[in-house]
A and B are shown apart, each in its own frame.
Chain A
């Protein structure tokens, strides 16, 4: 079955790194995504990784993929108060259907 799991809450200090973890179940996923949701706003695509990659870096964001363990992580370097939001991991399935986790609330303390 399809299932994506994430830890519910993460609190970090401004300037530290944040690491948000995710596990998924469907090995046929070809893309895995990270979305950001701020209050009153839509879901914003942050980054994605193709399943044959194990790392992708995009400015302050680093995505690590362990396909064997079906584990995905998002690292945010030099976390800022503006990074406070809910972060969703999603796996892309056949037919372009996305399956989302429940989201991780990131709180950044100044």
Chain B
């Protein structure tokens, strides 16, 4: 596909369950980013990868959140023992070149997570 895709688009889960959110970046893009967007707010950085290496995870709120990108393409964001405060839109983005210089990030449609 031409753009960043995410699945599922919507996820409803019960408190205490684990969830896994998937991101498929634009083919060939080196960098992949995860953001979380609460209702009425802008996206907030969680973590990012260059290829399979996690470069920065300073935005992950606590150790229940983890992310991986084992083959340098698809990434999974996992939230363990979900809590109601985890309810938000989770957005993935990718960019072509990686590195520390700035470049345009292309966003996917997001996964809306609701924890009951």
Contacts and interface: CB of A to CB of B under 8 A. Distances in A.
Interface of A: 4, 30-31, 33, 35, 40-45, 48, 88, 90, 92, 94-103
A30 B55 CA distance: 20
B48 A96 contact: yes
Interface in B37-80: 40-45, 48, 55-56, 59
Interface of B: 3-4, 31, 33, 35, 40-45, 48, 55-56, 59, 91, 93, 95, 99-110
A95 B4 contact: no
Contact of A103 (B42, B93, B105): B42
B110 A42 contact: yes
B93 to A, nearest CB: 8
B91 A42 contact: yes
14 contacts: A40-B109, A42-B3, A42-B91, A42-B107, A43-B107, A88-B43, A94-B100, A95-B55, A95-B56, A95-B100, A96-B31, A96-B101, A96-B105, A97-B48
A71 B6 CA distance: 34
A97 B40 CA distance: 21
A45 B106 contact: yes
Contact of B104 (A41, A48, A97): A48
B103 A4 contact: no
Contacts of A35: 107
Nearest to B58: A97
Contact of B43 (A40, A48, A94, A100): A100
Question: Which of A88, A97, A99, A100 has most chain B Cβ within 10 Å?
Answer: A97
A92 B102 contact: yes
Contacts of B102: 30-31, 92, 96
A54 B4 CA distance: 31
